[in-house]
Structure 1
Amino acid sequence: MTTRRSGHGPVSRLRAVPGVRAVSSYRREWLVKDVVAGVVLTTLLVPQGMAYAELAGLPPITGLYTTVLCLLGYAVCGPSRILVLGPDSSLGPMIAATVLPLVAAGGDPGRAVALASVLALMVAAIMILASVAKLGFIADLVSKPTMIGYMNGLALTILIGQLPKLLGFSVDADNLIGECAGLVRKIAEGAVVPAAAAVGVGGIVLLLVLQRFVPKVPAVLVMVVLAIAAAVVFDLGERGVGLVGVLPEGFPPFTIPQVGLSDLAPLFAGALGIALVSLADTISNASAFAARTGQKVHGNGEMAGVGAANLAAALFQGFPVSTSGSRTAVAQRAGARTQLTGVVGAALIVVMLLLAPGLFRNLPQPALAAVVITASLSLADIPGTVRLWRQRRAEFLLCFAAFAGVALLGVLPGIAIAVALSVLNVFRRAWWPYNTVLGRVPGLEGYHDVRSYPRAGQLPGLVIYRFDAPLIFANARTFRDEVRRLADADPRPAWIVVAAEPMTDVDTTAADMLAELDETLNAEGVHLVFAELKDPVRRKVERYELTRTIDAGHFFPTLEAAVTAFRLHTGAEWKAPTDGSSGSTGSTGSTGITGS
């Protein structure tokens, strides 16, 4: 009789699904808290879902479809207990920038929905494949300074784009400058609808005040209820204020979206940018809330969960989604314990669509604009930008460049610029790493940077040089030029000892450079010596056959061993530099004493 291996049967595979594990380990005492949290969360999900759908250039109802399906999809496949997914303010402009240029003249909403659903399918495929390939590290491609700049630009783009709706008119423009010009022109022409402006501005003030001083009160719900009441009491629809109107009754059927082949390339380009931003949001939010609840972050599992959420939304006329820090915080404050909170929220939205589709028919459009604008304000990080200016101007410039890319070129080019700047910044640091000369400081063990200790002692004829980076093709010339400059000092040093502990790698390009450099220096009576070279790097040096050129006796385990060997050969004694020492890498303090 054969026995099935444990862990490989269908039951074991089923138990590996996060939703199944959550059900099997669910505790009865969590039920009331999850249901209450789900009810509270729904008050935020409905208006935000509708508002972010319009931000993406889609009908408001699609925001509700998307919210329902992504919550259910993540509840089944997502590893986090309380992370909440849904339409997101940071993705809305990216979806609009991808979809709207492809929509036929006249703005057919059906085609826009189909394009957005295909976009969600592509995002799902990218996230699931990235999860299988364990590519969660891709989120690190965007550094924090460039992400701050990108989000600041996104916040400004959303703010300017929503102001016309807030004031009761529309602007037809393709970029931020055009929107700003159109906004000013329309205001000057008197296009502002006073009733719309009152609802919109009042909504923003109310949201900000409630969020600031009474954070436990569902600010969005309060504002929406008051806006609907004002629309009914003051008959705002007759005063030129746009209303949401009656939503379509029921729920959409399972739909496989269809688009033309010519649309796939631009959609895929947008999907890549959306997936990157969604991945960065997911990892950061998951890490933040896992730290609060004592859970572990499963980066690859989170990607799979977000992929499943996007897939579910795409098949029911939805659009791309991401995690939401604000909605997750609301769920947590309301007492959420598991993903049942999101399931309750999804169920309540479905009930509303089936039984009360006209519930939000009198909701003013400026109120939705107020929701989006207050969300955009939370995207901006002005204190973080100021801190970069004060602490590190180079990273502030990266931040500003990413901001300008979004503001001037658009949302999708902006994320491409942010990624490119982050990668180039890494390359820049590898290309021009910090390097310095070391000396001996009385009272301190070891050898120290002469820039920090200008009075550090030097051995005549010896230069200790530290290069703080892997030695690779990108910086091989920089290393060679610096060593050549040290060797050309007057008087010429006899040994240049490379403090190689920071060198975590030497590639073949750098190895060829070292061979040529050593031969050149030997002809001039200067010896290239290495100390503290890591064992893996030393093995690479031997594999490159560098020891044929560089004397095997010129590799030392420690700097002290190299210095002791030099002193034994030359009889040199330590001395302090003169008062005029600059402490630069060119100040070797050598006297020209030569050694073997």
Structure 2
Amino acid sequence: MKHWIHWLPGLDTFRQYKAAHLPHDIFAGLVLATMLAPAGIAYAEASGLPGVYGLYATITPLLAYALFGPSRILVLGPDSALAAIILGVVVPLSGGDPLRAVTLAGMMALVSGAVFILAGIAGLGFVTELLSKPIRYGYMNGIALTVLISQLPKLFGFSIESEGPLRSLWAIGSAVVEGRTNWVALAIGLGTLATILLLQKYKRLPNILIAVVGATAAVGVLDLGDRYAVQLLGPLPEGLPGFAVPWIGYSDLVPVLIGGCATALVAFADTSVLSRTYAARLGTHVDPNQELVGLGAANLVAGFFQGFPISSSGSRTPVAEAAGARTQLTGVVGALAIAFLLLAAPNLLQHLPNAALAAVVIAAAIGLIEITDLKRIYRIQQWEFWLSIVCFGGVAVLGVIPGIGLAIAIAIAEFLWDGWRPHSAVLGRAHGVKGYHDITRYPDARRIPGLVLFRWDAPLFFANAEFFKERALDAVAKSPTPVRWLVVAAEPVTSVDVTAGDTVAELDEALHAEGIELCFAELKDPVKDKLKRFGLYAQLGEKYFFPTIGAAVSSYLEINSDVEWEDWEDRQSEGR
């Protein structure tokens, strides 16, 4: 029983729910609903489906994620990043039949959901751990800029057709120069944005709701929609989604399977980064495997309730956060509000101007931008700062999904570089300091004649094995005295693969040809077990594996009694 409860984090959230959170979650859910409706309709149409199905793909996934999702405030629903994939599958196969298109999209959601759940159960959520803080900052700053740019056409009161942030900026600039700006819409949008930002410092005031209600009232009372062609949300479609199994033919199976897997890949990349980033911002922990299960459950219910593949939202999540969301009850309230609008009040938001909605999203995007901590990172480690800037540029220039790919590629490259060319050091004995230390940090450190203490600060694997051999031989070549022993201080070595094992064997043979013994000190038992399987333990000899560097030094001095060496601690103990 407890095993299954683990997969339902929403139950724990609601069992431990604090009454003080209720007003915040209800208010944030109502504010969120003003974004969910237009976004759902827009992304459904962009996916080649009737607009109402975007609302269906909003309601049920939010309810499912509230039960299965681990993130406190992540908002799920139709997403622009998935629209092109869905469109590319349903349009050629549906033949212009909207109901057939809905069925195909529903099956894509089921495929996507199944992929997510299997990945979560298999524990593949560890991929999110590849993204360091600077990379996450770069990604989120890029998302903020991309979201902000996407809302500028609505703010200026016109529409554009372009792909990518840079092309969008060019198209927006061209439209402004051509005089296509609707100045009334722009005034509404800027007024809404100014109201939100000015009221932010008053934490008790619902700044977003005040701004949106004010803009809607002004448009309705002054009839600005008809008089000045201000684009409005308009009446919502009526009706709630019903349960339906999206049966498709065998001829459609392959493209739907491919499309469902593709949407799962894109949604996972986007959601994993967003979830991890918000967990860090809120100081909470999110299980990435549970995140996959929650996303999978949301897609499954979307597929069974006339929806289509969904993902997390980089624009609606910050709106929920800015509105004061505390838990996933915000999403539940938002979903119920959309359901209420469809049933009882489809005309309630008909006078809501698109420019005001754009202002809400822009304000939320501004709140995503991280500058302060990046300044700190620049002061303490500049290369990580520039890594963040590259990720930011990737998202801003290439778009969100290619930007995520670039961020992950950079993260992997960063990890491999640290392991490929790690730090190593020759150790010596510094007067008055216990232990053996890097002679570059302690220039006055004394070296024991004929003994090279060489520390390798990384696991040994195929990518750095030759480098390890080169550095070890270089340490021997630069010894001020003829070398008898090379002792590898191996405490940082947490793993050895077959390639590295063979390279160690080659190093031992090269050293033996020069009359030098290869030894290891402080080697961890699991790594030592691997060396035994590789035959290295027998090749080097058990007596040349030491528990500590001190033990290796003592053994060396005992065997090589002709070496003249007096330790400062020995002199101190003798009172000299």
TM-score interval (norm. to shorter): 0.7 to 0.9
Find the aligned partners of 2:414 and 2:435 in 1 and give their Cα distance: 31
Q: 2:269 aligns with which of 269, 276, 279?
A: 276
Deviation at 1:487, TM superposition (A): 1.9
TM-score (norm 2): 0.84
Q: Does 1:558 align with 2:558?
A: no
Equivalent positions of 1:316-465 (< 5 A) are 316-317=306-307, 319-322=309-312, 324=317, 327=320, 342-465=331-454
Q: Does 1:219 align with 2:210?
A: no
Which residue of structure 2 aligns with residue 589 of structure 1?
none
1:260–1:490 CA distance, 2 compared to 1 (3 A):
closer
Find the aligned partners of 1:297 and 1:571 in 2 and give their Cα distance: 58
1:31–1:356 CA distance, 2 compared to 1 (3 A):
farther
Q: Is the 8 A contact 2:136 2:273 kept in 1?
A: no
Deviation at 1:101, TM superposition (A): 6.1
* Alpha-carbon displacement from aligned partner over 1:255-293 (angstroms, at most 9, x marks no partner): 5567785465355334213113323433554677685xx
Q: Is the 8 A contact 1:55 1:372 kept in 2?
A: no
TM-score (norm 1): 0.81
Equivalent positions of 1:221-240 (< 5 A) are 221-237=209-225, 238-240=227-229
Equivalent positions of 1:12-411 (< 5 A) are 18=8, 36-37=23-24, 39-53=26-40, 56=43, 57=46, 64-78=55-69, 83-87=72-76, 92-96=79-83, 98-99=85-86, 120-211=109-200, 213-237=201-225, 238-255=227-244, 261-262=254-255, 264-265=257-258, 268-283=261-276, 285=278, 291=284, 299-314=288-303, 315-317=305-307, 319-322=309-312, 324=317, 327=320, 342-411=331-400
1:316 partner amino acid: Q
Find the aligned partners of 1:340 and 1:160 in 2 and give their Cα distance: 30
Which residue of structure 2 aligns with residue 509 of structure 1?
499
Find the aligned partners of 2:42 and 2:423 in 1 and give their Cα distance: 45
Deviation at 1:399, TM superposition (A): 2.0
Which residue of structure 1 aligns with residue 527 of structure 2?
537
Which residue of structure 2 aligns with residue 571 of structure 1?
563
* Alpha-carbon displacement from aligned partner over 1:189-212 (angstroms, at most 9, x marks no partner): 11111011111122222222222x
1:239 partner amino acid: Y
Find the aligned partners of 1:424 and 1:273 in 2 and give their Cα distance: 21
Deviation at 1:549, TM superposition (A): 3.1
2:68 partner amino acid: C
Q: Is the 8 A contact 2:55 2:338 kept in 1?
A: yes
Q: Is the 8 A contact 2:112 2:260 kept in 1?
A: no
Deviation at 1:444, TM superposition (A): 1.8
Deviation at 1:341, TM superposition (A): 6.2
Of 464-473 and 230-239, deviating more is 230-239
Deviation at 1:558, TM superposition (A): 0.9
Equivalent positions of 1:519-538 (< 5 A) are 519-538=509-528
1:173–1:379 CA distance, 2 compared to 1 (3 A):
same
Q: Is the 8 A contact 1:49 1:87 kept in 2?
A: no
1:547–1:251 CA distance, 2 compared to 1 (3 A):
closer
Equivalent positions of 1:576-587 (< 5 A) are none
Deviation at 1:367, TM superposition (A): 1.2
Of 314-323 and 475-484, deviating more is 314-323
Aligned with 1:511: secondary structure?
Answer: helix
Q: Is the 8 A contact 2:65 2:298 kept in 1?
A: yes
Q: What is the alpha-carbon root mean square deviation over aligned residues?
A: 3.5
Q: Is the 8 A contact 1:49 1:67 kept in 2?
A: yes
- Unaligned runs of 5+ residues in structure 1 are 1-6, 577-596
Which residue of structure 2 aligns with residue 586 of structure 1?
none
Q: Does 1:488 align with 2:477?
A: yes
Of 393-402 and 177-186, deviating more is 393-402
Deviation at 1:53, TM superposition (A): 3.4
1:401–1:109 CA distance, 2 compared to 1 (3 A):
farther
Aligned with 2:518: secondary structure?
Answer: strand
* Alpha-carbon displacement from aligned partner over 1:326-384 (angstroms, at most 9, x marks no partner): 63685666xx7xx6665454334322221110011011111111122222223332233
Aligned with 1:251: secondary structure?
Answer: coil
1:279 partner amino acid: S
1:394–1:290 CA distance, 2 compared to 1 (3 A):
closer
Of 251-260 and 533-542, deviating more is 251-260
1:515 partner amino acid: A
Q: Is the 8 A contact 1:50 1:62 kept in 2?
A: no
Find the aligned partners of 1:310 and 1:273 in 2 and give their Cα distance: 13
Deviation at 1:304, TM superposition (A): 2.4
| Matched residues, number | 549
1:74–1:249 CA distance, 2 compared to 1 (3 A):
same
Q: Does 1:472 align with 2:467?
A: no
Find the aligned partners of 1:19 and 1:485 in 2 and give their Cα distance: 55
Find the aligned partners of 2:539 and 2:394 in 1 and give their Cα distance: 49
1:216 partner amino acid: R
Of 254-263 and 356-365, deviating more is 254-263
Aligned with 2:540: secondary structure?
Answer: coil
Deviation at 1:559, TM superposition (A): 0.4
* Alpha-carbon displacement from aligned partner over 1:547-566 (angstroms, at most 9, x marks no partner): 34324322211101111222
Percent identity of equivalent pairs: 39
Deviation at 1:93, TM superposition (A): 4.2
Which residue of structure 2 aligns with residue 591 of structure 1?
none
- Unaligned runs of 5+ residues in structure 2 are 569-576
1:43 partner amino acid: L
Q: Is the 8 A contact 2:58 2:335 kept in 1?
A: yes
Aligned with 1:361: secondary structure?
Answer: coil
Q: Is the 8 A contact 1:38 1:345 kept in 2?
A: no
Find the aligned partners of 1:331 and 1:507 in 2 and give their Cα distance: 50
Find the aligned partners of 2:448 and 2:127 in 1 and give their Cα distance: 47
Find the aligned partners of 2:42 and 2:453 in 1 and give their Cα distance: 60
Find the aligned partners of 2:283 and 2:479 in 1 and give their Cα distance: 60
